[in-house]
Structure 1
Amino acid sequence: MKLIPVIMAGGVGSRLWPVSRETHPKPFMPLPDGENLIRKTFKRAASLGDVTEVLTVTNRDLFFKTEDEYRLVGRKELAQSFILEPFGRNTAAAVAAAALQVEQAHGAEALMLVLAADHLIQNEAAFTAAVEKAKILAAQGWLVTFGIQSQYPETGYGYIDANPDKPLEGGLKVNRFVEKPDLETAKQYVEAGNYFWNSGMFCFEVGSLLSELRRYAPEVMAEVHATLDQSRVAESGQNRYVTLEADAFGRVPDISIDYALMERSEKVAVIPCDIGWSDIGSWNAMSELTQSNNDGNRFEGEVLAHKATNNYVNSPERLAALVGVQDLLVIDTPDAVLIAHKDHAQDVKHIVSQLKSSGHEAHLLHRTVHRPWGSYTTLEEGERFKIKRIVVKPGASLSLQMHHHRSEHWIVVTGMARVFNDDREFMLNTNESTFISAGHKHRLENPGVIDLVMIEVQSGDYLGEDDIVRFQDIYGRADG
């Protein structure tokens, strides 16, 4: 049985602001061990026996960032295919699109293992064993989900009610899915013993999945089919890239795979498992990954404390100090600080909503912004000027572009730059500089084998990121 892991890399993780933002969401957040969740997920999927391809469904703006993370794992022999969404449309659309692609490439008998890119699994051996059990049931036509054995009454997760009187080979038949309960109900679920946390991971035979989707979610299937018919497909070696057409994709119903299918089908089974699973859904959950000291404090970064207990501080870039406080979450980033009581960790998402409604960029961008060619960091800005640190990866190139309102002064710090300024082409070495006037077409390339690091000083009446006209771009971002 061919198994194709499908990594679902959607969602923002607004409860983990200010580290998680729309252009740098939760799967890319560094954990205390130095890795992030999307890299861990890819490694976990790639390590399963006989896997030859990993398919990822993600936002097209995160494609290059995701590819960079996968490249660090180093599994070049694996096919790495992508379905690139113009915007999020919930999990039913993503699962349906992935299933149709797997069917086309591998046939209806292939198995899909659907994994979330932002979940942590600490017991890899138990996870692999659970997948083997799921494969057996999926091959028999069951829609298989993974139920996490509940250790305590958790009100932040949905639950799976399994039928202990109908055991299956390695699993149980599902009675129903239950929404997030209140505390008393959650206690009853834990005491009952047949309720499991809904992990949001699945295993399907593609043919069985598509048959059930056509029965219970025909509109989803029809619109996903229409979207794929209008979408751009590119292939490179063994890899396949499907860029979904935005207008058609916007007509797909915005519904989760749970609501669209899993709660309605009679063919749903659950594999109970204890795999060290967490969805890292809040700063409280993140704090549990850090060892506490004698005062119950958990610190990431350089932190001093006096008469402070049971706090979590994440301050990797600046010295932080706590005096006489308890039960606080303190999250420090270069451009935003979060201070919250631990009892209100779930309410951080309301701050993100306020930022969005006010148009504040802090919900969207960090001071350091990743691009397909590298990254830039805003160092300082004021009236009529902005200063950036730009890093261009070896062999990478910015688009051929022009700005209406700003001029730019480039200074090379390390590496070598190839500059195109209207009809001139020339090289800049370390400690050399050049000036690009507003209205001039220009391009920056790194022809070297090490990172090109530059300081860019912008000046002009308007310095917004939308003051850019792209004429040519190797990453498909040209305006026309």
Structure 2
Amino acid sequence: MKPVILAGGSGSRLWPKSRAALPKQFLALTSDHTMLQETVSRLNGTDCENPIFICNEAHRFLVAEQLRVDNISHDGILLEPVGRNTAPAIALAALHATKNGEDPVLLVLAADHLIKNQPAFHQAIAKAEVLAESGCLVTFGIVPDQPHTGYGYIKAGEAKGSGFDVAEFVEKPDLQTAESYVSSGKYFWNSGMFMFKASRYIEELEKFNPEILSVCRKAIETEASDLDFIRVDAEIFALCPDDSIDYAVMERTNNAAMIPLNADWSDVGSWSSLWETSDKDSQGNVVVGDAILEGVNNSYVNAEQRLIAVIGLDDVVVVETKDAIMVAHKDQVQDIKKVVNRLKQEKRPEFEFHREVFRPWGSYDAIDKGQRFQVKRIKVKPGEKLSVQMHHHRAEHWVVVAGTAKVTLGEQTVLLTENESTYIPIGEIHSLENPGKIPLELIEVQSGTYLGEDDIVRFSDRYGRTKKEDGKQ
């Protein structure tokens, strides 16, 4: 059995923590580990092979770094040049998994779900594997504990092995309909998790949506490995129809089966759902970080950088990051998406980036900015190097505060240690490297007429990045 972990998605409903460049699957929201890392760790104790990961190309270094930190082995990180929903993503994984004549059972999981009861999850996987081996396309139906209107539902049909035939998939209902579903005992939440043999998925996709399969086959014919990454043809894949596995296959096949899952599952789709699944104090509050609450009940407060004081409020969500604060009534958190859309329309950086931006070599934090200057705290991991580059409109001053910096300026290379500094004039070709065994930290002061991240000419880069996808390297 080979896990296929879908690590795409924007997670916009968990803004300001989750952003386009750092969506929720890469955040530690429910433990000290990120949701991606938790997804992999909960497979411990099952008879699984190394997983395949699928992610957006822009997030590839996040995936690779989080797998490295937890020492997670894998069979490749498949890169989607553009998002085309779950049906094409799973098609790429199935084609990749069968390229050497093998035909594994695929366990398709989202990287951003929470499952607290791992033994129950493992039992459901074992039951699903029996049905998958027999040729069924299995989905996992969550045993509902309330008439939720935010999930689609699956109606159970006749008993089939340890599960059921799927009678029908239904869209997100209104409250009255959801109540009737739950009281009937025949409906389950649609989890978005699946299991089937790779060949069976390919067969059913060819039957019901041959265009998706044809495009994916052509795109992956010339797959190329790049470090840990597997690239497909971007121009061909961009022609692929955008469709979910539910619409493309599961709602149309005659071989759909469902295994009930009662394992404290949540898709963590909003701040209110995160409140629901978290441990609460005697007033029903969930507090993360430095916060003082007075006369507050049934609320979620998450402080990242500063002290938050909340007084005399009930049923609220307060989330603070280095560059944004979000306050909402718990019943209105779905409208966060409207705020995110406005940020995107207004081309504000808070839509895409946090103040601290992560790169494969480390990170940079824009700690201050004025009309003609910008100050950043730069961290470079041991052994890593930024690209060889130059800028047309800005000069840079670097002050090392921890570690050792190997700095190349034109034809000269120097080593700088704590409290030493250097100056990079406008137009000077330069690079920065950490040759040491501990993280390098430095303060960078930029000055000039234009300080945008696109003012960069790159001459070489060990990570294979292009100018348009990255700024500070």
Specify the TM-score bucket, using the shorter chain as the normaliser.
over 0.9
Match of 2:334 among 322, 338, 346: 346
Structure 2 counterparts to residues 170-249 of structure 1, below 5 A: 170-234=162-226, 241-249=229-237
Partner of 2:17: 19
CA distance in 1, matches of 2:351, 2:128: 38
Deviation at 1:104, TM superposition (A): 1.0
1:72 is aligned with what amino acid? V
Aligned partners of 1:37 and 1:118 also within 8 Å: yes
The 1:57/1:441 distance shift into structure 2, 3 A limit, reads same
The separation in 2 between residues aligned to 1:112 and 1:203, in whole angstroms, is 5
Q: Which residue does the alignment assign to 1:36?
A: 34
- Structure 1 gaps of 5+ residues are none
CA RMSD of aligned residues (A): 1.5
Per the alignment, do residues 145 and 391 of structure 1 end up closer, same or farther by CA in structure 2, a change over 3 Å counting?
Answer: same
Please say if residues 160 and 195 of structure 1, whose CA atoms lie closer than 8 Å, have aligned partners that are also in contact.
yes
Partner in structure 2 of residue 62 of structure 1: 59
Among 372, 378, 395, which residue is 2:360 paired with? 372
> C-alpha distance in 2, partners of 1:89/1:286?
27
- Report matched runs for 1:292-331 at 5 Å: 292-331=280-319
Instruction: Give 1:90's match in structure 2, choosing from 69, 85, 88.
Output: 85
Q: 1:125 aligns with which of 119, 127, 132?
A: 119
Give the SS at the match of 1:21. Answer: coil
Moved over 3 A (4+): none
Kindly provide the CA deviation profile for residues 319-363 of structure 1, in whole angstroms up to 9, marking residues without a partner as x. Answer: 111222222111111101111111111111111001001111101
Letter of the aligned partner of 1:168 in structure 2?
K
Alpha-carbon offset, residue 457 of structure 1: 0.5
Secondary structure at 1:157's aligned position in 2?
Answer: coil
Match in the other structure for 2:148: 154
In the alignment of these two chains, the number of paired residues is 468
Aligned residue identity for 1:305: L
Instruction: Describe the shift of the 1:141–1:32 C-alpha distance in structure 2 as closer, same or farther (beyond 3 A).
Output: closer
Q: Distance in 2 between matches of 1:23 and 1:105?
A: 34
Note if contact 2:60-2:229 (Cα within 8 Å) is conserved in structure 1. no
- Alpha-carbon deviations, 1:369-393, whole Å to 9, x = none? 0001000001000111000000101
Q: Which moved more, 1:220-229 or 1:180-189?
A: 220-229
1:102 to 90, 93, 97: 97
Look up the SS of the partner of 2:98 in the other structure.
helix
- Contact preservation (8 Å) 1:111, 1:138: yes
Q: Any idea what SS the aligned residue of 1:208 has?
A: helix
> Once the 2 structures are TM-superposed, how far is the Cα of residue 125 of structure 1 from its aligned partner?
0.8
Question: Cα gap change, 1:245/1:402 in structure 2, threshold over 3 Å: closer, same or farther?
Answer: farther
Shift of 1:424: 1.1
Matched residue of 2:121: which SS?
helix
Deviation per CA, 1:43-97: give whole Å up to 9, x if none. 123x14343311000012211211221122224xx33411011221111110000
CA distance in 2, matches of 1:425, 1:306: 57
Assess if the C-alpha contact under 8 Å between 1:145 and 1:271 holds in 2.
Answer: yes
Change (3 A) 1:406 1:300: same
Paired residue secondary structure (1:104): coil
Deviations 1:105-138 (A, max 9, x none): 4613x11100000001111111111111111111
Q: Which amino acid aligns with 1:426?
A: V
| 2:471 aligned partner | none
The Cα shift of 1:32 comes to: 4.5
SS at match of 1:318: coil
* Per-residue CA distance 1:245-302 (angstroms, 9 max, x = gap): 3221211101111111111111100001101110001001112344333333222122
Distance 1:199 1:32 in 2: 18
Structure 2: gaps (5+ residues): 469-473
SS at match of 1:317: coil
Aligned to 1:401: 389
For 1:61 and 1:396, locate their aligned partners in 2 and report how far apart those are by CA, in whole Å.
19
Q: What displacement does 1:442 show?
A: 1.0
Q: Say yes or no: does 1:134 pair with 2:128.
A: yes
Change over 3 Å in CA distance of 1:478–1:302 after alignment to 2: closer
Deviations 1:424-451 (A, max 9, x none): 1111111111111111111111111110
2:402 equivalent to 1:414: yes
Give the aligned partner of residue 138 of structure 2.
Answer: 144
CA contact (8 A) 2:3 2:49 kept: no
Higher strand fraction (1 or 2) = 1
| Code of the aligned partner of 1:362 | E
| Residues 1:6 and 2:1 are matched in the alignment | no
Residue of structure 1 in register with 2:262 after alignment: 274
- Give the direction of change, closer, same or farther, for the CA distance of 1:67–1:337 in structure 2 (3 Å limit): same
One-letter amino acid of the structure 2 residue matched with residue 49 of structure 1: T
Deviation at 1:478, TM superposition (A): 4.4
| C-alpha distance in 2 between matches for 1:340 and 1:226 | 46
SS in 1 for 2:225: strand
Letter in 2 for 1:55: I
Q: How much identity, in percent, do the aligned residues show?
A: 46
SS at match of 1:66: helix
SS in 1 for 2:97: helix
Return the TM-score normalized by structure 1.
Answer: 0.95
